Structure 1
Amino acid sequence: MLWRTYLVYFGISLFALVILAQVIRIQTTQREDWLQQAREQTMKFVNIDAARGNIFAGDGSLLATSIPIYEVRMDPNRDVIPDSVFNKKIDSLAWHLSRLFDDKPASVYKKEITRARRSGNRYHLIHRNVRYTELKAMKSFPIYRRGRFKGGLIFTQKNRRVKPFQVLAARTIGYDREGIQGVGLEGAYSEYLEGVGGKRLMQRISGNVMMPVNDENFIEPKDGYDLLTTLDVNLQDVAEHALLYQLRKHNADHGTVVLMEVQTGKIKAIANLTHQTDGEYGETYNYAIGESTEPGSTFKLPALMAAMEDKLISPDDSVDTKSGKTRYYDRIMTDAHHGGFGKVTVRRAFEVSSNVGVSLVINEAYTKNPSRFIERLRAMGLGRTLGVEIPGEGKPVLKDPTDKSWSGITLPWMSIGYESTMTPLQILTFYNAVANNGKMVRPRLVDEIRQRGKIIRRFETEVIHEKICSESTIKEARRMMEGVVENGTATNLKNSIYKIAGKTGTAQIANAKYGYRYETGISYQASFVGYFPADKPAYSCIVVVNAPSNNVYYGNLVAGPIFKEIADKVYAGSLEMHNAVNLAQAKKPKALPKIKVGMQEPTDHVLSALKINPDKSEKDASWVIPNYQDSLLTLKKKSIADELGNGYIPDLSGMGVSDALYILERNGLVVEITGSGKVTRQSIPPGTAFRWGQTINIELS
């Protein structure tokens, strides 16, 4: 029995020795490994999002930006805030918090903070979604003003995307959200806008909450690049309001407007509005880029241009529109004008938008060789996507005689805008090419990509098609479009100040289930596309209104007024479109105008309009400062972008308030202004390093 007792003692001793050996092993050879695992369980690096780049309009107006939003917490424990401070200041702190956020009484704030102190909570939530100005105020509150390590104030920053102009061009600006495909410019240029994220060391505390170890980031995030778009906020506002008015007036389903510079392809305004379930209109889909529909009568221009280019017709040829009806196999084509127009020229048939006249001309020209018609249309740049920056471009459909769906009535119906589909922007691009003497340019929405004012990439005008057709065809096409407004279907757009050229369009809308006839009747699409001034085209524009429902559906009456309102506003605000008054005096002004320090491009634009050519010491300066000597005006480079890019405050002397606000706020400074006029004093001296969120006071006089 004794040997059994010894055996038990021996076993226990051996087991104890094994445990002791393992403890020694863990404390020595495996010590660092276990400590590292413990650290990994309680501490880890958390990704910090970079501030997404800003999106600007062409004039520098802010279209989309990221603003800092903070989550504020507190460590109220005794080793941070001694009883002598806490007991004396907690009532005052609670009162300030209640007054700032106005969400609960001071007594509740005091109760919650005191409870957190007693329970040992080192990461007590004070408030979420705190603005920078609110956080700045909190730092001056009792207890908090002692700083984080003595006052217990803890905050983490997140960025919230906002659109200062709210719904203005909302769909075109778009959004970029995690887990779903981006939309608009936010989605298309996300790789430039998103920046490079940083990292911050966080510690897991009780309640499985992650708390920052300190106020510093381990890796600082790098802010995203900025986009300078081609959009003009004033013209965008005009386009959206004009479209909204007509949509409401005619109780339409949706509509779109695009305004574009003829020579450059820069889109100055793009509006898309949809009738929503709540009865209001909003931007939910980019119809200008994404919706490919049968264009209707606006397609008559490329159809007739194809025949003119192939030398098969002349605008002065005669065509008999009969009684306004003609038969193609078992289908009857009719004109909107009851009784037809009789015998007219091709030009006149286009001006009055005769379906019968145009279809007869095209059918006779190409009936034996319809492939030639399609080939000519494709040669003029139709039937292909434009490759615009924003994803989701609708695919155009231009049938070919080899297609199974091609029939005996395809050619005549295609000539008047059916059995083919195009997006509004694709139609506009063709008309823009006609206005641009045959040169087709790619529409674009972005001018530059910038980093703190420095140009990273500049987008130039891109030519898609150097010449869509001959000069003679372009000349005749432009004369025909002028005729539409002067004495055709769009005489309501005619005015005595400047000329408009374009084409009306009224198309029946096909439905996949019911065809062209819905259970509630026929639905129409009204449009107008053209350019102005007709004698020297500067802008092209298209307006498309889908399903107007108050018994008015013609393009000239529904879409035309939108076009004219936009054209009138553009013309009124464009000095270069107006005939010069007292030109001789303008060339030699009695006194040079007083200008402020500002951006070179708008400064050059204004001086050019006044016929003043200043001497430039720097040709490629972003910002310039005027220098007057006798009768000579010199624009000298002002190195604002370089200074800001290096993290230093520039000299703002002489700047206007809009320019000063623009450069300071886009670099994260909070600006406070007093006075009016030019900048005469700044609270942070030039050459001083600044930090994001810092406040600067500027005085104007």
Structure 2
Amino acid sequence: MSKFDSPKIMPRYTFITILMTLVAVAVIGKTLYIMTAKRDYWMAVADRQKKDSVSVKPMRGNILSCDEQLMASTLPEYKLYMDFNALYEAKNDSLWTAKLDSICNGLHNIFPEKSAASFRRHLEEGRNKLSRHWLLWDKRVDYNTFTEVRALPVFRLPKFKSGFHTEEYNARQRPYGSLAGRTVGDMYGAKDTARFGLELSYDSILRGSNGIIHRRKVLNKFLDIMDTPPIDGADIVTTIDVNMQDLAERSLLDEMKEINAHVGVVLVMEVATGDVKAIVNMERCSDGQYREVKNHAVSDLLEPGSVFKVASIMTAIDDGVVDTAYKVNTGGGTWPMYGREMRDHNWRRGGYGVLSVSRSLEVSSNIGISRVIDQYYHNNPEKFVRGIYRLGLALDFQIPLVGSSPAKIRMPKKAPNGQWLNWSNTALPWMSIGYETQVPPISMLAYYNAIANNGKMMRPRFVKKVMKEGVTIMEFPPEVMKGYEQIAKPRTIKLMQDVLRKVVSQGLAKKAGSDLFQVAGKTGTAQMSKGAAGYKSGSVDYLLSFAGYFPADAPRYSCIVCIQKTGIPASGGQMCGPVFRNIAEGIMAKDIKLDVRDAKDTSSVLCPDVKAGNVLAADYVLSHLGIKTFADWSANNVKGSSLWGHATIKDGKAVALRRTKQYARSQMPDVHGMGARDAVYLIESRGVKVRVVGRGRVVKQSIEPGTAVKLGMHCELILES
């Protein structure tokens, strides 16, 4: 007999089947409802739970000086926001109300431009709107300011409880301020885009490559999952010498203020390599202050004036038509030239009479130079201009700065009937003395640098190499311009070197000379054209200049100084010469090595009073002065509570020295127990690259605290919750 009791089992089975069917229908119905009627709502919810293909910006590379000092670096900046919805959801409304006065007073202390009452009204407005992204302060702030705000009541809580959150940006900072600012370049802060200078020219190298992450919300927190890691930008090492740049800027500014100049330019170049060691572009602004607004050194196409005369005579000597002893009659200081009158600067005093070509350059005689060139090239001006081209003055150096332009020296062309097109009888005489041409200061300096370099034309170099994590990945070696390994015959170069020495020692450029070493160069004073208005419309503008090199017997550096001013007095030798001398003596003084023992006062038994500073440097000086030293090296704490002690002993007296915080920044800090953001900031502010492993707080760092920091070091931080 069967044990299956159908009357009892089947009703139960039927009930379960019907129940499961109803559940299935309900599930399918709910699914259809979600897929249709609630589709938009749930798609919005899904978007809040995940973010795909989120771009991660890399760290922009640094711009370094020739000795690898930071000239431009990237540091974090923050915009501060408040999420009042998060505050409400975390049920911290009562805490906010209780602490609002303290928060407003704290914000006022941090941002004194705005009163506590204004902050209170602003915050209450955001709270009434239950804004999720209410801006606390309308400007970006640096890391130190961010930490001050984060320490205020409520804000110090986690962001999901306090609502306080930030947006982080990579901000470009220049430790030396505006020094060489137009050449180093700048960024559009909001767009993180290069504006000009080396920042723009080498943007692809400095920028690096973006990474990609996707984000998933887990336990009410977003988890970042890296798909493609960002590649940080590389560093570029420039040829700029910070000390020379500072010296050039100060020397030029002092002179410009004294003579009320409009624009001033200084370029210093290393003779053997073509390295630009200093580049200054000062311009008087509407408020009377001098700033770098435009890179005049590479973009100003102006008639150079008398500094061009050297190229004119050099062409004639190289062509063999004259030599430096050739005599020319300059008359009483004026000479008719095809319906126009050529004048020398001393024409009111009767001129120079008969001069040699060498002496014509020494006293910068317009008549002497123009008569020689007109006599030998009048019937074939093309030959003269080709000679100027042969000297490299019209070369395009491909300067890596936006706005740079090669010189414009027009070439005469002959028509089929034998007439010269767009060429007058006066064009050649005036071209020979620096008019009818447009040459930027850097092209003129490169030419004088070639004379100092025995005829070898170097391409002006602004960047020496590219580095990544302390390793050189690309080099830009010194480059001789192709076809300009010798711009003139060696004899011609030697003659011009002798003449340029005489211009300074016994000519119009005596103020550029130095009692300490020989200087060679040429002055220039040119009236500036005002376009259609001509040269003498209203007040007369002048371009004053001096181009040369030093020391003349073994050239190391070449330099050009250009100043634009209105009205007289106006003299390249009198106004640019002193600037050149100050720069030259300042640069050469760096190489003067004196015996430190000469500083010892034998009549005194007092121990020197050594101030706080670099202990190793102080120890070096004291030991060379014959003062014994001893050191008490204690454990170093990055916060400065325990600093190195040091003392000197002489005649039983000791003077204690203390190591400063500034020197402590050259050592690896102790970041154990810190969060990732604080630890990374402290270490990377010392130039060390950081790799973070794990989450939570630092439990281990690969470089021991107190280790001397070197450029290119890497530190791995192990974090645990």
375, 378, 384: which one pairs with 2:389? 378
Structure 2 counterpart of 1:681, which letter? G
The answer to whether the Cα contact below 8 Å between 1:429 and 1:442 also exists between their aligned partners in 2 is yes
- Of stretches 303-312 and 434-443 in structure 1, the one that deviates more from structure 2 is 303-312
The answer to whether the Cα contact below 8 Å between 1:552 and 1:558 also exists between their aligned partners in 2 is no
Corresponding residue for residue 480 of structure 1: 499
Cα distance change of structure 1 residues 662 and 489 upon mapping to structure 2, 3 Å threshold: farther
Report the identity percentage.
Answer: 34
SS at match of 1:182: strand
Corresponding residue for residue 284 of structure 1: 293
The answer to whether the Cα contact below 8 Å between 1:69 and 1:159 also exists between their aligned partners in 2 is yes
Corresponding residue for residue 619 of structure 1: none
Q: How far apart, CA to CA, are the structure 1 residues paired with 2:708 and 2:341?
A: 78
Q: How does 1:289-368 map to 2 (within 5 A)?
A: 289-338=298-347, 339-368=350-379
Corresponding residue for residue 194 of structure 1: 207
Q: How far apart, CA to CA, are the structure 1 residues paired with 2:127 and 2:562?
A: 64
Q: How far apart, CA to CA, are the structure 1 residues paired with 2:91 and 2:508?
A: 81
How much does 1:28 deviate? Answer: 5.4
Does 2:559 align with 1:541? yes
Does 2:98 align with 1:80? no
The answer to whether the Cα contact below 8 Å between 1:90 and 1:110 also exists between their aligned partners in 2 is yes
Cα distance change of structure 1 residues 220 and 348 upon mapping to structure 2, 3 Å threshold: same
Q: Number of aligned pairs? A: 582
Does 2:689 align with 1:681? no
The answer to whether the Cα contact below 8 Å between 1:198 and 1:221 also exists between their aligned partners in 2 is yes
Corresponding residue for residue 570 of structure 1: 587
How much does 1:418 deviate? Answer: 1.1
Corresponding residue for residue 448 of structure 1: 465
Corresponding residue for residue 676 of structure 2: none
Corresponding residue for residue 64 of structure 1: 72
Cα distance change of structure 1 residues 406 and 159 upon mapping to structure 2, 3 Å threshold: same
Corresponding residue for residue 466 of structure 1: 485
Corresponding residue for residue 406 of structure 1: 423
Corresponding residue for residue 502 of structure 1: 521
Deviations 1:71-106 (A, max 9, x none): 233445354355786677666555544544446666
Deviations 1:13-59 (A, max 9, x none): xxxxxxx9998656459998985576459975665544432222223
Corresponding residue for residue 698 of structure 1: none
Does 2:66 align with 1:55? no
Structure 2 counterpart of 1:390, which letter? L
- Of stretches 229-238 and 563-572 in structure 1, the one that deviates more from structure 2 is 229-238
Deviations 1:577-609 (A, max 9, x none): x99x99xxxxxxxxxxxx9999xxxxxxxxxxx
Cα distance change of structure 1 residues 122 and 355 upon mapping to structure 2, 3 Å threshold: closer
The answer to whether the Cα contact below 8 Å between 2:282 and 2:293 also exists between their aligned partners in 1 is yes
SS at match of 2:493: helix
Q: How far apart, CA to CA, are the structure 1 residues paired with 2:708 and 2:157?
A: 25
Cα distance change of structure 1 residues 495 and 103 upon mapping to structure 2, 3 Å threshold: closer
Q: How far apart, CA to CA, are the structure 2 residues paired with 1:192 and 1:691?
A: 30
Does 2:201 align with 1:182? no
Q: How far apart, CA to CA, are the structure 2 residues paired with 1:252 and 1:112?
A: 48
The answer to whether the Cα contact below 8 Å between 2:239 and 2:462 also exists between their aligned partners in 1 is yes
Q: How far apart, CA to CA, are the structure 2 residues paired with 1:383 and 1:112?
A: 62
Corresponding residue for residue 627 of structure 1: none
The answer to whether the Cα contact below 8 Å between 1:139 and 1:147 also exists between their aligned partners in 2 is no
Corresponding residue for residue 601 of structure 1: none
Q: How far apart, CA to CA, are the structure 2 residues paired with 1:662 and 1:232?
A: 26
The answer to whether the Cα contact below 8 Å between 2:688 and 2:715 also exists between their aligned partners in 1 is no
The answer to whether the Cα contact below 8 Å between 2:215 and 2:225 also exists between their aligned partners in 1 is no
- Of stretches 531-540 and 305-314 in structure 1, the one that deviates more from structure 2 is 305-314
SS at match of 2:186: coil
What CA RMSD, in Å, does the superposition of the two structures yield over aligned residues? 4.0
Structure 1 counterpart of 2:235, which letter? D
The answer to whether the Cα contact below 8 Å between 1:400 and 1:406 also exists between their aligned partners in 2 is no
- If the length of structure 1 is used for normalisation, what is the TM-score? 0.74
SS at match of 1:547: strand
Cα distance change of structure 1 residues 571 and 662 upon mapping to structure 2, 3 Å threshold: farther
How much does 1:134 deviate? Answer: 2.8
Cα distance change of structure 1 residues 81 and 215 upon mapping to structure 2, 3 Å threshold: farther
Does 2:150 align with 1:136? no
Q: How far apart, CA to CA, are the structure 2 residues paired with 1:112 and 1:355?
A: 71
Q: How far apart, CA to CA, are the structure 1 residues paired with 2:358 and 2:333?
A: 17
Cα distance change of structure 1 residues 97 and 325 upon mapping to structure 2, 3 Å threshold: closer
Q: How far apart, CA to CA, are the structure 1 residues paired with 2:344 and 2:588?
A: 34
How much does 1:415 deviate? Answer: 1.1
- If the length of structure 2 is used for normalisation, what is the TM-score? 0.72
424, 446, 452: which one pairs with 2:441? 424
Q: How far apart, CA to CA, are the structure 2 residues paired with 1:147 and 1:463?
A: 61
Deviations 1:534-591 (A, max 9, x none): 0000000001111243x21111012111111111111111249x99x99xxxxxxxxx
Corresponding residue for residue 171 of structure 1: 182
Corresponding residue for residue 632 of structure 1: none
Q: How does 1:197-276 map to 2 (within 5 A)?
A: 197-198=210-211, 214=222, 216=224, 221-276=230-285
